[in-house]
Chains A and B, each alone.
Chain A
C-alpha cells in the first residue's frame, strides 16, 4: 500500500497552526473535505489520480492550480466520469509537487496557464479514472471468482450482474491497488457522459463563502516572520546605499538588508505592517542604471521604428502581398496601438518559505507548482527533490503567477537569511503594480488591397512588440517569431489570396509577461477593427463580409453565425443604438461577440448588450464556462476603458487602484452567453472570451459615431464606458 497523501499531510500538519482548526493547509482542499468528512483519514492509492478510503469516500488528485477558473472541480470531474463513482463521495486534494518530482512527473503538467488545464490533461485524466475503475472491477471479480465481463460499476459500487452481489470501491481498494494497471482502457463516448457536461458546483466555493479559504497571503506558521520588499523603481536598478540605523530600532524590526546582488531591499519584522512602515521610512539610494530616461514616448518611437524596418521575420505568407497591393483598386492602411497593462490580481505577490536542514518548504499562490519548486530549489541551492510546494488558493492569477516566479525567488532568498524560520514575504499593491511582467505594448501597421468588386486581394500586418518568450522565458525564437506576439496573425483565418504578416521584435527594459489572453488580448483589436475598415471600404456589412471570407473555416464561421443569430444581427435597434461584431480563434477555442452601444455627446459609451459566444469543442462544467465568460468581459472592459501602464523616467507611473482604476459593479453591462459546442476537439475556456470584446466594442463605437478607435484605452479618445 502506498499512501503518499497521508505521509505528506502528516509532515505538514506538524507545522500548521491551522491544523487545529481542521484545515490542512496547502495540501488538502478544505472545501472538498467539508463535503465528505474528515481530512486525514488514510486511504489506498489505486493509482496516481484516485485514492479510496475505507469509508468508501474517494480522493481525486488535482495537479494544477486553482485561481477561480474552476479547474479544481472540472478536472476531477473527468476522472470521476470514467471512474463511475458517486460525485458526492468525492473530495479533491492537490497532488504533492515534491512527489511529482520523485515519481517521475507522474501527474503530467502542473501549470494552470494558457487555458490548458482541461484541454491538455483531459486524455490522461480520463484514462486515470478509467484505469482505476478497471482495477477496482477486476479486484471484485477476482474476489467473487467470476468473469470481469459479468460485472458492472455505477456510483462507486461494483455489481456482479447475474447474482446481484455488490462490493463498494472501499471494499476492494486494497486488492485493486496491488493489481497491474491495465495497458489500455476504453474511454466513454462524450455523448454518454453523465457527470461531465452538467453544471457541477465548484468544490472550493463553500470555504470561500464561510471565510475559510486560505490564500498564499494567509499562511500562518509558528515563529513566522514577515518581510516587506522594494525593488528599484527603474527596472534593473540596484540599491546603492541605505541607512538601516534610521529604522533598525523600531518596534519589531528584525533585519534590514538587500538580496539578489542588491536588486531587492528587504525589511523583516514580527508583523507585516511594521516591516512595510519601516521600509517606507528607510532612506534608500538607488542606482537606476542605464534606463532612467526611458518614457512611454521613447518606447512608442522605438516600436514605430520597428514598423519601418524593411525586412523582419515572417509569420504568415501567402502569394505576393506587395505585388497584389500594387494592382489593387483600393488600398487601405492603418496603424493601431495597445498599451502596457498590469495584471493586478486582487491578492498581491508574495511567498512563504522555510529553509531547514537542506530542505525548502514553500507555501504560495502559484499558477505552476513545478515552476515554483524549480525556482525555490535554485534560489536555495538545494536539489529539486528537497523542495515541497504547498499550493494555496490563488487570489487571482491572470498569468502573473506563472512563468516569472520572481515572487518565489525573492521569498526564498529572504528565507535564506533566517535558517529554520518561516518568513512570509508580501508585496504592497504599489510594489505589485510597479514590478509586474506587463502585457506588452504593441504597435501594428496593416495594409489591405481590394479589387474593383470590393473583394480583398491582399492583407499585410506588421506587429512591433517586445518578445515575452525571448525576455521572460529566455527561449530562442524559432525563425525569429514570438508566437504569442503574432497570435491572430500567424494563424490568419480569412481567405485572402496574398498575405504577409511579420514581426519586428522590439525588447525594452520594461519586463513583459503573459497577461490573460496574451497576444489574443490585443491583436484582435487591430485585426478585427481593420477587417471592419475593409468591410466599409468594400461597402459590405461587417458580418456578411466576414462570413464570405470565412466560408471555408467551419468553426470560426459557426461561432460567428451563432452569436450573430443570438444577437439578432441585422434586426432593427432602438434609435441611437448600434452594433459591432468580431470573431477570434484563441487557445484552440473559437469566440465571437456582438456588442450594442450608444454614444452620448459627452462621450459616454453606453453598453446596452454584450452577446458573447464560445465553441470550446467539449463542455465539462457549463455554468463555470458562463462564469469565465462573464469574468473575461470585465477583465477586457477594465483594460479597454481606462487600462494603461505608462513609463516616465524609466519607471511605472501608476501605483495602486487610485491611478490604475478597476471596473466596478455599477459599470457592469448585461452579458448574454452563447455556449455552442460542436464537439470533436478540446478548446480552452479561461482566456478565449476576452479576445473578441475590444474589437466588437470599437466597431460598435464606429458604427455609432463614425469615429475609428485605433488605440487603447478609450479614455484617450474622450470616451467613458458606462452601463446602459
Chain B
C-alpha cells in the first residue's frame, strides 16, 4: 500500500511500486486532471506539482512520491478561490480544447513561484509543455497578467 497526499487529502493505493504516478492518479484514485499525452515526458499534459515543483507524472514511479504533497489542477483553487493563474487563464480565454491546459497552468504556477515577474525569456525556458491547439500566444499573455496580479500563496 502506497500512501500519498493528493490535493491536501491522504490517499492510498494498492499498486505496483513501478506504476507511474499518472496512472495511479487517473485509474486508481479517479483524479482525472493530469492527462496522458505521450507517456515519455515529452508533452507535459500529465504535469503535477510535487512539493510545489512541476513533474511529468507519466514518468515518475509512484514509489518515488510516497508521502509527498501532490497538487493537481483540481487542487489549485483554494476554498473555492481561483489561483491568479486560473483567473488570468479565464480572463484571456487561453484554452482551446483544454487538454494540455491543466499541465500548462501548473507549469505557470511553478514559474511564478520561482520568478514572480518572469520575462519572455523566462517563459520560453520553462514553459515547454506542448499545446497542439496552439494557445501559446495567450499562455504568454496570461502569465504576464497573473504576474501583475497579487501574488498567490505558495502551492
Contact partner of B90 (CB less than 8 A), chosen from A205, A213, A396, A398, is A205
Asked if B135 is an interface residue, CB under 8 A from chain A, the answer is yes
Contact status A67-B97, CB under 8 Å: yes
B131-152 near A? 1/0 per residue, CB < 8 Å: 1111111111000000000000
Q: Report the nearest B residue to A210, measured CB to CB.
A: B77
Distance between B142 CB and nearest chain A CB, rounded to angstroms: 10
Asked if B70 is an interface residue, CB under 8 A from chain A, the answer is no
Contact partner of B137 (CB less than 8 A), chosen from A205, A630, A664, is A630
Contact status A665-B127, CB under 8 Å: yes
A665 — which chain B residues lie within 8 A by C-beta? 123-124, 127-128, 131, 136, 139-140
A344 — which chain B residues lie within 8 A by C-beta? 132
Expressed in whole angstroms, the Cα–Cα distance for A70 and B32 within the complex equals 22
Distance between A92 CB and nearest chain B CB, rounded to angstroms: 16
Contact status A656-B40, CB under 8 Å: yes
A612-656 near B? 1/0 per residue, CB < 8 Å: 000000000001100100111111000000000000000000001
Contact status A623-B93, CB under 8 Å: yes
Asked if B39 is an interface residue, CB under 8 A from chain A, the answer is yes
A390-426 near B? 1/0 per residue, CB < 8 Å: 0001111110000000000000000000000000001
B130 — which chain A residues lie within 8 A by C-beta? 346, 657, 662, 664
A317-347 near B? 1/0 per residue, CB < 8 Å: 0000000000000000000000000001111
* B96-131 interface (Cβ within 8 A of A): 96-102, 105, 123-125, 127-131
Asked if A452 is an interface residue, CB under 8 A from chain B, the answer is no
Contact partner of B136 (CB less than 8 A), chosen from A17, A394, A623, A634, is A634
Contact status A631-B96, CB under 8 Å: yes
Asked if B33 is an interface residue, CB under 8 A from chain A, the answer is yes
Most chain A CB neighbours (cut-off 10 Å) among B33, B76, B94, B133: B133
Asked if B54 is an interface residue, CB under 8 A from chain A, the answer is no
Expressed in whole angstroms, the Cα–Cα distance for A347 and B86 within the complex equals 22
Expressed in whole angstroms, the Cα–Cα distance for A682 and B83 within the complex equals 39
Contact partner of B124 (CB less than 8 A), chosen from A70, A218, A666, is A666
Contact status A208-B138, CB under 8 Å: no
Expressed in whole angstroms, the Cα–Cα distance for A429 and B95 within the complex equals 22
Size of interface on B: residues with Cβ below 8 Å to A: 56
A134-157 near B? 1/0 per residue, CB < 8 Å: 000000000000000000000000
Most chain A CB neighbours (cut-off 10 Å) among B26, B36, B101: B36
A41-69 near B? 1/0 per residue, CB < 8 Å: 00000000000000000000000000111
Asked if B19 is an interface residue, CB under 8 A from chain A, the answer is yes
B36 — which chain A residues lie within 8 A by C-beta? 217, 348, 426, 429
Asked if B51 is an interface residue, CB under 8 A from chain A, the answer is no
Contact status A208-B132, CB under 8 Å: no
B101 — which chain A residues lie within 8 A by C-beta? 208-209
Contact status B95-A205, CB under 8 Å: yes
Expressed in whole angstroms, the Cα–Cα distance for A398 and B96 within the complex equals 12
Contact status B100-A211, CB under 8 Å: no
Contact status A68-B97, CB under 8 Å: yes
A396 — which chain B residues lie within 8 A by C-beta? 96-97, 99, 132-133
Contact status B35-A656, CB under 8 Å: no
Contact status A201-B136, CB under 8 Å: no
Contact status B39-A428, CB under 8 Å: yes
With A273-B20, A656-B38, A666-B124 given, is the CB distance from A226 to B27 under 8 Å?
yes
Most chain A CB neighbours (cut-off 10 Å) among B23, B98, B124: B98
Expressed in whole angstroms, the Cα–Cα distance for A69 and B97 within the complex equals 7
Expressed in whole angstroms, the Cα–Cα distance for A202 and B95 within the complex equals 9
B27 — which chain A residues lie within 8 A by C-beta? 226, 271-273
Contact status A211-B96, CB under 8 Å: no
Distance between B105 CB and nearest chain A CB, rounded to angstroms: 7
A398 — which chain B residues lie within 8 A by C-beta? 132
Contact status B89-A209, CB under 8 Å: yes
Contact partner of A211 (CB less than 8 A), chosen from B74, B124, B131, B138, is B74
Expressed in whole angstroms, the Cα–Cα distance for A662 and B38 within the complex equals 12
Distance between A25 CB and nearest chain B CB, rounded to angstroms: 11
Contact partner of B45 (CB less than 8 A), chosen from A67, A211, A346, is A346
Contact partner of B35 (CB less than 8 A), chosen from A215, A666, A668, is A215
Q: Is the interface of A mostly helix, strand, loop or mixed?
A: loop
Contact partner of A17 (CB less than 8 A), chosen from B30, B40, B137, is B30
Expressed in whole angstroms, the Cα–Cα distance for A217 and B23 within the complex equals 12
Contact status A630-B43, CB under 8 Å: no
Contact status A627-B135, CB under 8 Å: yes
Distance between A656 CB and nearest chain B CB, rounded to angstroms: 5
Contact status B127-A657, CB under 8 Å: no
Asked if A671 is an interface residue, CB under 8 A from chain B, the answer is yes
Contact partner of A205 (CB less than 8 A), chosen from B28, B98, B100, B134, is B98
Size of interface on A: residues with Cβ below 8 Å to B: 59
Expressed in whole angstroms, the Cα–Cα distance for A714 and B149 within the complex equals 41
A210 — which chain B residues lie within 8 A by C-beta? 73-74, 77, 82, 86
Expressed in whole angstroms, the Cα–Cα distance for A396 and B101 within the complex equals 12
Distance between B9 CB and nearest chain A CB, rounded to angstroms: 14
Asked if B52 is an interface residue, CB under 8 A from chain A, the answer is no
Contact status A394-B23, CB under 8 Å: no
Asked if A467 is an interface residue, CB under 8 A from chain B, the answer is no
A585 — which chain B residues lie within 8 A by C-beta? none
Distance between A630 CB and nearest chain B CB, rounded to angstroms: 5
Asked if B78 is an interface residue, CB under 8 A from chain A, the answer is no
Q: Report the nearest A residue to B44, measured CB to CB.
A: A664
B128 — which chain A residues lie within 8 A by C-beta? 664-666
Expressed in whole angstroms, the Cα–Cα distance for A319 and B77 within the complex equals 67
Asked if A304 is an interface residue, CB under 8 A from chain B, the answer is no
A630 — which chain B residues lie within 8 A by C-beta? 134-138
Contact status B98-A273, CB under 8 Å: no
Contact status B95-A209, CB under 8 Å: yes
Contact status B86-A658, CB under 8 Å: no
* A104-135 interface (Cβ within 8 A of B): none
With A211-B74, A215-B35, A217-B36 given, is the CB distance from A346 to B100 under 8 Å?
yes
Contact partner of A658 (CB less than 8 A), chosen from B40, B77, B82, is B40
Q: Report the nearest A residue to B128, measured CB to CB.
A: A664
B123 — which chain A residues lie within 8 A by C-beta? 665
Distance between A225 CB and nearest chain B CB, rounded to angstroms: 11
Contact status B95-A208, CB under 8 Å: yes
Asked if A206 is an interface residue, CB under 8 A from chain B, the answer is yes
Contact status B40-A272, CB under 8 Å: no
A202 — which chain B residues lie within 8 A by C-beta? 93
A68 — which chain B residues lie within 8 A by C-beta? 95-98, 133
B17-57 near A? 1/0 per residue, CB < 8 Å: 00110010011101011011111101101000000000000
Contact partner of A345 (CB less than 8 A), chosen from B74, B97, B138, is B97
Distance between A343 CB and nearest chain B CB, rounded to angstroms: 9
Distance between A391 CB and nearest chain B CB, rounded to angstroms: 13
Contact status A662-B98, CB under 8 Å: no
With A346-B37, A658-B40 given, is the CB distance from A206 to B99 under 8 Å?
no
Q: Report the nearest B residue to A623, measured CB to CB.
A: B93
Contact status A635-B140, CB under 8 Å: no
Contact partner of A668 (CB less than 8 A), chosen from B30, B72, B137, is B137
Distance between B43 CB and nearest chain A CB, rounded to angstroms: 6
Contact status A631-B135, CB under 8 Å: yes
A271 — which chain B residues lie within 8 A by C-beta? 23, 27-28
Asked if A707 is an interface residue, CB under 8 A from chain B, the answer is no
B102 — which chain A residues lie within 8 A by C-beta? 211
B32 — which chain A residues lie within 8 A by C-beta? 211, 214, 218, 220
A193-231 near B? 1/0 per residue, CB < 8 Å: 000000001101110111111110110100000100000
User: Told that A213-B98, A217-B36 touch, could you supply 7 new A-B pairs with CB distance under 8 A?
Assistant: A68-B98, A215-B99, A346-B37, A346-B45, A347-B97, A657-B40, A657-B43
Rank and list the top 8 A-B pairs by shortest CB-CB distance, nearest first.
A634-B134, A68-B96, A68-B97, A395-B99, A208-B98, A211-B73, A631-B134, A666-B124
Binding site for B on A (CB under 8 A): 17, 67-70, 201-202, 204-206, 208-215, 217-218, 220, 226, 251, 271-273, 344-348, 393-398, 426, 428-429, 623-624, 627, 630-635, 656-658, 662-666, 668, 671
